[in-house]
Structure 1
Amino acid sequence: MSLETVVEDVRDEARARAEEVREAADAEADEIIAEAEEDAERIHEERLAEVETRIDQEREQTLSSAKLEAKQERLAARRDVLQDVYDDVEETIRGLDGDRRRELTEALLDATLAEFDDDETVAVYTRAEDIELLEELVAGSNAQVDGETECLGGVVAESDTSRVRVNNTFDSVLESVWDDELKHISERLFDQ
């Protein structure tokens, strides 16, 4: 064997070995790249899922906030409508006159005086505009008009003897009826 042949064999072996190393390195590089791509895909999927979850949560929060705000606005609008109705009823009561006012005032006075003993002197009060009417209505009873009070009409009565005070004003009747019937009024106005 000649030196050239030995050199050629060594070269062939070196080339073969270099080829093996290159192939092993390429295989390792391919494996590393494949693992990196899998990791990248996994990370991408995780991030995408996190973003979708966050979007869903924010959408839910925004929707809930919008629903709550709409509900609050609806309730505020209903309160405004109910207040307008109440104000209109007050205005209608304030505007009662003639026989209707006399009838209602007399009924409230009778109910009020029934709360006191017949021998008690009862002081009654009403709105300034109804003092003359009330003076006519108490004539011949154990009551006397003792002044005015801030109200829509009706009477407030008290006695020093029994320390009883009865408020039978249109305001108190309206307030009582309003409280008792508010649910029905609301249902009728808003078709619940």
Structure 2
Amino acid sequence: MSLDNVVEDIRDEARARAEEIREQGERRAEEIVETAEKDAEELREAREEDVERQIAQEREQALSSAKLESKQERLEARRDVLEDVRSRVESELVDLPAEKREELTSALLEDATSEFDEDESVSVYGRADDADLLESLCAEYDGFEYAGEYDCLGGVVVEGEDSRVRVNNTFDSVLEGVWEDNLKDVSERLFDQ
């Protein structure tokens, strides 16, 4: 074998080895690119999931907030309606016809008398506009005297001088009790719950 042949064989071997190294490098480069693309895809998907989760969470928070605000506005509107109804009831109590006012005031005074001894001195207070009515009603009871005005819609506040008992039988106090006892029913009727 001649030296030229040996050199050529070495060159062929070197070329083959270079080709093999190049191919291995290309395969390795393709593997690195594939891994990088796969990692990038996984990262993109994870970020998309995070963004979608955040969007869903923010949407849920906004919806919850809107529902709460809506509920508060409904409750405020209902409270306003109930206050209006109560105000109208109070106005009607103030404007009761004289006969009805006398009937109710008399019943409230009669109810209060059971709290006092027969010979006890009793002071009766009431609405300023009812002074004449209260004086005439007090005249029906021994020891009862109209003592002055009391800020109320009507009815009586009765105080015993000896027993220190005080009975509040005003329209206001009766209305308060009836209102509290029937608020749920009134609300259901007004708002069809």
Q: Answer whether TM exceeds 0.5 for this pair.
A: yes
Residue matched to 2:177 = 176
Cα deviation code 1:58-83 (max 9, x no counterpart) = 11111111111111111011000000
Instruction: Quote how far apart the aligned CAs of 1:153 are.
Output: 0.5
State TM-score, norm by structure 2: 0.96
Instruction: Quote how far apart the aligned CAs of 1:143 are.
Output: 0.8
Instruction: Quote how far apart the aligned CAs of 1:12 are.
Output: 1.4
Residue matched to 1:143 = 144
Residue matched to 2:128 = 128
State TM-score, norm by structure 1: 0.96
Aligned length: 192
Instruction: Quote how far apart the aligned CAs of 1:3 are.
Output: 3.1
Instruction: Quote how far apart the aligned CAs of 1:53 are.
Output: 1.4
5+ residue gaps in structure 1? none
Residue matched to 1:13 = 13
SS of match in other structure, 1:87: helix
Cα deviation code 1:99-149 (max 9, x no counterpart) = 011111111111111221111111000011000011011113121000001
Aligned residues with identical type, % of pairs: 61
- 2:156 and 2:131 mapped to 1: Cα distance? 10
Residue matched to 2:93 = 93
- 1:51 and 1:116 mapped to 2: Cα distance? 77
Report the AA paired with residue 126 of structure 2: T
* RMSD across aligned positions (CA): 1.1
Residue matched to 1:80 = 80
Bigger drift between 19-28 and 57-66 goes to 57-66
SS of match in other structure, 1:167: strand
Instruction: Quote how far apart the aligned CAs of 1:97 are.
Output: 2.7
